[in-house]
């Protein structure tokens, strides 16, 4: 069919690869035993990766390797070794999150195709363009996008990959720090503990799970995605078993080919009380929430045996035309053709029949026995002497050999050869100790007065607050939206603010680096910089300075090798989740909003509403406090102080404490974040 998108299957083990290929996928994605965003699944050893590439390429299936976690400088050599291995075995593309890995791949193996992981939070046209500028060749779009926005991304000409089935995280991918903050298991490092599946309450009532979403399923809407121009239909589920992979791939293939698929089978193999397509059609709300029940688990147990039948035999993805020549006194010869691949094999010298010669129909019948292969019977021809005897064993042997040769030629043709250079460590750059400036992030203009303005290096405010001013002062900075359904409108607003004197913006997404004309671009924490190469990449894109990831320890921050001025979040309630589906709005309604949710221990997590941009931020229950620890951060250039609903008095008290490096006791629980305990 015209514009038939790729069916992309998740594989957490070799058994899942077989299930996916035998059910008709076009490509698989998988991870090695390091640097994969699904560290909890079996994953693949180096030998298993090599074997998988050979098996898939013989079957005309592509293999994409996920090296899509954030990495530290100390791990870059290991990443380089993994990239080199991927080149040697002919991986078809690398899925990446970390800007440092992108930079490293461009140094080592510039011809290797790179795909922007959904962990990069690419969701706008300018975000896609920025990925193209960095040399990426595909973008995995954020799951939260409606069909209209997906169509805009496809209109850029960049191949767009869209999740169409599987689990939904409550948080936008790449912007969740809840698992890391609660238990040091970072979602950005492939170790998510799924804290959002634990009890949380946005409304009255016990045993609520108001951060748990149902699984998505868009199989009934694939024609709309095809019409939008989507290049790849991605199924989530590398943590799932082969039966899940088989059922999902089979259903996706059926739906894409315009045939009915068994939705009940899909629900039975795995669901959380059913499926949702809420994001695709902008119908967010409580209907999207769900938990996996005991009944769901029992249905899965009962459904699994029947699903084995889906992947017991190879998927018929090729047609084989065969021509056999049988002449007395000459070798039996078979030529097979599949697409543009040919194979010719020869067998024994034929003798005249003692009694009854072998008929052409009998010989051709041997050529049609393709049941255990990926081939369908095409044209069969037989040129034979009327006197020749051809045993069934001889004809069958040639058929097997010819198909094996076709497979080997397809493997050679479809396995890319890449040039790969040698790893060169970053040069040491000694960062000097200095007195850090403070950057004040405010929620409203009502929190700002002249004294706070004078104390701060920058005063960072939301767009809506700056738009209330007639003139924007030199040290005022616009905090750009971390997720944006209305990018065109946001750019127009920025242009108007520039007319009022705006000189600084806080870039919270890669898209914002395309807006740098006439503005100083300050990189925000959500860009997830955890290594020196990533910092260098952002400097190349136009960043004037950068706030590093809150998932680094103070020692790791100290060792970053970059001339780019750096800062860290030093005070405030860290946004643990960025979500396009507000739990308060879903369960209480905006009129009854409590502005917080509570967990099973009674801890309170405030919700910062960014309704104008279509998302909310769920803030940590404890306040980050480092004023008494600044000796450990002396090479930083600035400290970011995040204020939400603090009063004038508290804001001034905090700012002065950080400027002086003093300690005082807060009247709420404090945390040191991850700066001293680190993450997995």
Rounded Cα–Cα distance for residues 672 and 565 (Å): 22
Q: Each residue of 115-163: pLDDT tens digit?
A: 999 999 999 999 999 999 999 999 999 999 999 999 999 999 999 999 9
Rounded Cα–Cα distance for residues 113 and 136 (Å): 7
Q: Do domains 6-168+213-311 and 437-573+623-671 have the same CATH topology?
A: yes
Q: Each residue of 628-637: pLDDT tens digit?
A: 999 999 999 9
Residue 2: its pLDDT value, please?
Answer: 53
Residue 311 · residue 19 · CB < 8 Å: yes
Q: Is 501's pLDDT higher than 50?
A: yes
Please give the structure tokens belonging to residue 84.
Answer: 């080199």
Beta bridge partners of 115: 95, 138
Run of H or E residues at 178? helix 178-183
Per 3-state DSSP, the chain is made up of helix, strand and coil in percentages (nearest 5) of 35, 20, 40
Residue 83 · residue 109 · CB < 8 Å: yes
Q: What is the CATH number of domain 6-168+213-311?
A: 3.20.20.70
Question: 56, 64, 52: which is closest to 22 by C-alpha?
Answer: 56
Domain boundaries, the chain: 6-168+213-311, 318-414, 437-573+623-671
* CA distances from residue 614 to 148, 178, 287, 383 in whole angstroms, order as listed: 15, 20, 18, 70
Q: Indicate the burial class of 285 (C-beta count within 10 angstroms; 0-12, 13-18, 19 or more).
A: middle
Residue 587: its pLDDT value, please?
Answer: 92
Q: Compute how many other C-beta atoms are within 10 angstroms of the C-beta atom of residue 74.
A: 10
Rounded Cα–Cα distance for residues 272 and 293 (Å): 7
Rounded Cα–Cα distance for residues 279 and 579 (Å): 12
Calculate the CA 359 to chain-centre distance.
57
Overall residue count recorded for the chain in this entry: 680
The DSSP output letter for 512 is G
Question: 382, 389, 325: which is closest to 357 by C-alpha?
Answer: 389
Q: Is 539's pLDDT higher than 80?
A: yes
Three-state SS string across 586-609, please?
A: HHCCHHHCCCEEEECCCCEEEEEE
Residue 522 · residue 539 · CB < 8 Å: no
Please give the structure tokens belonging to residue 456.
Answer: 């701060």
**pLDDT band at residue 347 using 50, 70 and 90 as cut-offs:** very high
Residue 674 · residue 553 · CB < 8 Å: yes
Three-state SS string across 554-586, please?
A: HHHHHCCCCCCCEEEEEEECCEEEEECCCHHHH
Rounded Cα–Cα distance for residues 489 and 484 (Å): 10
- Degrees, nearest 5: CA angle 273-279-282: 120
Rounded Cα–Cα distance for residues 641 and 664 (Å): 16
Please give the structure tokens belonging to residue 419.
Answer: 């040039």
* CA distances from residue 151 to 135, 156, 157, 611 in whole angstroms, order as listed: 22, 9, 11, 23
Rounded Cα–Cα distance for residues 566 and 574 (Å): 18
Run of H or E residues at 133? helix 125-133
Sign of CA dihedral 435, 441, 442, 448: positive
Rounded Cα–Cα distance for residues 447 and 62 (Å): 54
**pLDDT band at residue 386 using 50, 70 and 90 as cut-offs:** confident
Residue 433: its pLDDT value, please?
Answer: 87
Residue 430: its pLDDT value, please?
Answer: 82
Once rounded to an integer, what is the mean pLDDT over residues 500-529? 95
Residue 426: its pLDDT value, please?
Answer: 86
Once rounded to an integer, what is the mean pLDDT over residues 565-588? 96
Based on DSSP, count helices (H) and strands (E) in the chain, helices before strands: 20, 29
- When computed from its CA atoms, the radius of gyration of the chain, rounded to whole angstroms, is 29
* CA distances from residue 556 to 424, 539, 601, 633, 678 in whole angstroms, order as listed: 20, 19, 32, 11, 9
Q: Compute how many other C-beta atoms are within 10 angstroms of the C-beta atom of residue 583.
A: 27
The DSSP output letter for 616 is E
Measured in degrees and rounded to the nearest 5, phi and psi for residue 647 equal: -80, 170
Rounded Cα–Cα distance for residues 225 and 146 (Å): 11
Q: Each residue of 61-119: pLDDT tens digit?
A: 999 999 999 999 999 999 999 999 999 999 999 999 999 999 999 999 999 999 999 99
Q: Each residue of 434-472: pLDDT tens digit?
A: 889 999 999 999 999 999 999 999 999 999 999 999 999
Residues with Cβ within 8 Å of 379's Cβ and at least 6 positions away in sequence, in order, are 321, 322, 323
Question: 469, 432, 420, 422: which is closest to 448 by C-alpha?
Answer: 469
Where do we find the tokens 């369960």?
587
Rounded Cα–Cα distance for residues 317 and 373 (Å): 9
**pLDDT band at residue 1 using 50, 70 and 90 as cut-offs:** very low
With a pLDDT cut of 90, the percent of the chain lying above it is 88
**pLDDT band at residue 188 using 50, 70 and 90 as cut-offs:** very high
Q: Is 343 helix (H, G, I), strand (E, B) or coil?
A: strand
Q: Compute how many other C-beta atoms are within 10 angstroms of the C-beta atom of residue 149.
A: 23
Q: Is 668's pLDDT higher than 80?
A: no
Residue 156 · residue 230 · CB < 8 Å: no
Rounded Cα–Cα distance for residues 515 and 541 (Å): 11
* 629 or 207: which leads in pLDDT: 629
Residue 141 · residue 156 · CB < 8 Å: no
Question: 278, 253, 10, 246: which is closest to 118 by C-alpha?
Answer: 10
Measured in degrees and rounded to the nearest 5, phi and psi for residue 470 equal: -85, -25
Rounded Cα–Cα distance for residues 57 and 614 (Å): 42
Q: At what angle do helices 242-256 and 14-22 cross, to 10 degrees?
A: 20
Q: What is the CATH number of domain 437-573+623-671?
A: 3.20.20.70
Q: Each residue of 269-296: pLDDT tens digit?
A: 998 989 999 999 999 999 999 999 888 8
Q: Compute how many other C-beta atoms are within 10 angstroms of the C-beta atom of residue 449.
A: 12
* CA distances from residue 605 to 600, 620, 665 in whole angstroms, order as listed: 12, 6, 21
DSSP-derived secondary structure for 353-408: -SSSPPPHHHHHHHHT--TTSSEEEEEEEEEE-TTB---HHHHHHHHHHHHHHHHH
Residue 207: its pLDDT value, please?
Answer: 80
Q: Is 166 helix (H, G, I), strand (E, B) or coil?
A: strand
Residue 459 · residue 452 · CB < 8 Å: yes
Indicate the average pLDDT of the chain. Answer: 94
């Amino acid at each position: 069919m015209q514009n038939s998108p790729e069916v992309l299957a998740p594989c957490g083990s070799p058994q899942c690869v077989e299930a996916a290929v035998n059910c008709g996928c076009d490509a698989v994605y998988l991870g090695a035993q390091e640097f994969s965003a699904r560290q909890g699944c079996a994953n693949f050893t180096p030998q298993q990766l090599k074997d998988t590439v050979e098996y898939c390429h013989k079957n005309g299936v592509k293999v994409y390797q996920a090296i899509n976690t954030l990495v530290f400088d100390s791990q870059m050599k290991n990443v380089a070794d993994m990239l080199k291995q991927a080149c040697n075995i002919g991986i078809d593309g690398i899925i990446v999150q970390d800007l440092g890995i992108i930079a490293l791949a461009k140094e080592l193996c510039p011809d290797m195709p790179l795909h922007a992981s959904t962990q990069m939070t690419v969701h706008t046209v300018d975000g896609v363009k920025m990925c193209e500028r960095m040399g990426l060749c595909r973008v995995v779009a954020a799951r939260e996008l409606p069909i209209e926005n997906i169509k805009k991304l496809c209109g850029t000409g960049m191949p767009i990959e869209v999740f169409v089935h599987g689990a939904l995280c409550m948080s936008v991918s790449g912007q969740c720090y809840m698992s890391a903050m609660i238990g040091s298991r970072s979602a950005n490092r492939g170790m998510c503990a799924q804290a959002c599946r634990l009890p949380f309450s946005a409304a009255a009532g016990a045993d609520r799970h108001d951060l748990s979403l149902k699984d998505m399923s868009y199989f009934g809407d694939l024609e709309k995605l095809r019409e939008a121009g989507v290049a790849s239909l991605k199924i989530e589920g590398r943590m799932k078993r082969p039966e899940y992979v088989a059922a999902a791939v089979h259903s996706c293939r059926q739906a894409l080919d315009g045939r009915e698929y068994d939705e009940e089978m899909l629900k039975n193999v795995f669901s959380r009380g059913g499926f949702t397509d809420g994001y695709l059609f902008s119908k967010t709300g409580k209907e999207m929430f769900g938990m996996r029940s005991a009944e769901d688990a029992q249905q899965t147990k009962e459904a699994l045996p029947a699903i084995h039948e889906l992947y017991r035999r190879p998927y018929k993805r090729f047609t084989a035309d065969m021509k056999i020549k049988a002449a007395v006194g000459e070798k039996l010869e078979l030529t097979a053709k599949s697409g543009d691949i040919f194979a010719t094999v020869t067998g024994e010298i034929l003798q005249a029949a003692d009694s009854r010669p072998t008929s052409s129909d009998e010989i051709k019948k041997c050529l049609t026995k393709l049941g255990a292969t990926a081939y369908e019977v095409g044209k069969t021809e037989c040129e034979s002497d009327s006197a020749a005897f051809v045993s069934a064993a001889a004809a069958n042997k040639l058929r097997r050999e010819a198909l094996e040769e076709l497979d080997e030629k397809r493997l050679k043709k479809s396995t890319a050869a890449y040039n790969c250079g040698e790893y060169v460590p970053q040069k040491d750059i000694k960062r000097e100790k200095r007195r850090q400036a403070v950057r004040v992030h405010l929620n409203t203009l009502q929190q700002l007065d002249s004294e706070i303005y004078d104390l701060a290096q920058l005063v960072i405010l939301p767009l809506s607050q700056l738009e209330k001013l007639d003139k924007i002062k030199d040290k005022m900075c616009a905090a750009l939206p971390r997720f944006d359904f209305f990018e065109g409108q946001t750019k127009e607003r920025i242009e108007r603010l520039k007319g009022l004197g705006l000189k600084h913006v806080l870039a919270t997404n890669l898209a914002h680096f395309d807006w740098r004309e006439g503005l100083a671009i300050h990189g925000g924490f959500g860009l997830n910089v955890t290594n020196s190469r990533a910092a260098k990449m952002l400097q190349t894109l136009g960043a004037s300075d950068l706030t590093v990831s809150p998932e680094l320890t103070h020692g790791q921050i100290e060792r970053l090798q970059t001339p780019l001025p750096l800062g860290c979040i030093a005070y405030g309630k860290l946004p643990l989740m960025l979500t396009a589906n507000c739990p308060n709005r879903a369960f209480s309604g905006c009129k009854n909003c409590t502005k917080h949710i509570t967990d099973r221990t009674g801890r309170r997590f405030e919700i910062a509403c960014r309704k104008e941009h279509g998302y909310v931020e769920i803030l940590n229950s404890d306040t980050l406090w480092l004023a008494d620890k600044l000796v450990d951060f002396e090479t930083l250039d600035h400290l970011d102080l995040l204020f939400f609903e603090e009063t004038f008095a508290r804001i001034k008290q905090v700012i002065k404490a950080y400027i002086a490096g003093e300690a005082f006791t807060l009247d709420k629980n404090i945390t040191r974040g991850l700066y001293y305990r680190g993450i997995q």
